[in-house]
Amino acid sequence: MAHPRSFVFIGCVELKEILGRRAQDERELMEALEQIPLGSVYYHTHSVFLRHPRISGAYPNDFANWVATQVRDQPLAERLAVVDPFQFVRLEELRDELVSIIGQHVAAIHTVPRVLFGSPLSFVQSHLIEVSTGFEARTLDDFRRCVADVDQSAIYLHALHSQVMRHVPGGDFARWIGEDLGRPALAETIARMNPYQGGLERMRQETLRLLDGELGREAA
């Protein structure tokens, strides 16, 4: 039998480009969402996890957070908050969903809510630059050691980013464990991990717990 391919851990740094575009009310938010680059949709939804790997306020994406804390429109904030960006295969579909939610909300009310005492939303675009971390695993034991010590940007890139930008179902970790190590049950559990339960650091700890369980059963 051929040796499994090794898993090379890649991390990332995010250059955050300020677009200079701002929204003062919910209609402007909707119009901007239709026009901004997809990298900006990504910045305000997915890569929030890179900036808040452990802590978050009440809202998991920048749009919901802005509507809640600056515009102070609770109903729209709630609708935007439950959108899970990782459920969309393509960023265009996520954009359409957000625009549709805001459009429906704005059409149903008489006055478009706007910022009175808060700050406008300033749009930023994400540019992710991949960097080799030097960590590489050939076995499940190696993999466990790497997951424990690697920069959290690698957890983000392999577990979350890969699902969205490279369309890897379940992410790189699950695919390697399932396809290369031949452990489909473990792969499936890792693929189902929920990033909203404590962010990247919680994902790291949960992955370690699952790996320890698997390694422990093997040793026994």
Partner 1 sequence: MTLSPSSLEPYRRVAPTGTVDFLLRLAEHIQGRRFLHVNSTREGGGVAEILSRLVPMMGELGVKTEWEVMTGDPEFYATTKSIHNALQGADQVLTEAMLEHYLDVNRANAERIKPEADLVLIHDPQPAALIQARRPEDKWVWRCHIDLSGPQRRVWAFIRRFVVRYDAALFSLPAFGQELPIPQYLDYPTIDPLSDKNRQLARKDVWRSVENLGVPSDKPILLQVSRFDRFKDPIGVINAYRMVKRYHDIRLVLAGGGAADDPEANRVLEDVRAAAGRDPDIYLLSLPANAHLQINALQRAATIVIQKSTREGFGLTVTEAMWKGKPVIGGASGGIVVQIIHGVTGYTVTSAEGCAYRIRYLLNNPDLMRRMGEAGREHVRQNFLITRELRDHLTLLAHLTS
Which residues contact partner 1 (rule: CB under 8 A)? 11, 13, 15-20, 22, 51-58, 69, 117-120, 122-124, 129, 131-134, 148-154, 201, 204
- Shortest Cβ distance from residue 110 to partner 1 (Å)? 27
CB proximity list for 168: less than 8 A, separation 6 or greater = 162, 175
Whose Cβ is closer to partner 1: residue 69's or residue 144's?
69
Nearest to 109 by CA among 25, 35, 21, 34: 25
Nearer to partner 1 by C-beta: 77 or 106? Answer: 77
State in angstroms the smallest separation of the CB of 11 from partner 1: 5
Q: In the chain, what are the helix, strand and coil shares in percent, each to the nearest 5?
A: 55, 15, 30
Q: Which helix (H) or strand (E) holds 134?
A: strand 121-137
CB of 46 to partner 1, least distance (A): 16
Give the residue with the Cβ less far from partner 1, 129 or 220.
129
Q: How far apart are CA 151 and CA 160, in angstroms?
A: 14
CB of 147 to partner 1, least distance (A): 10
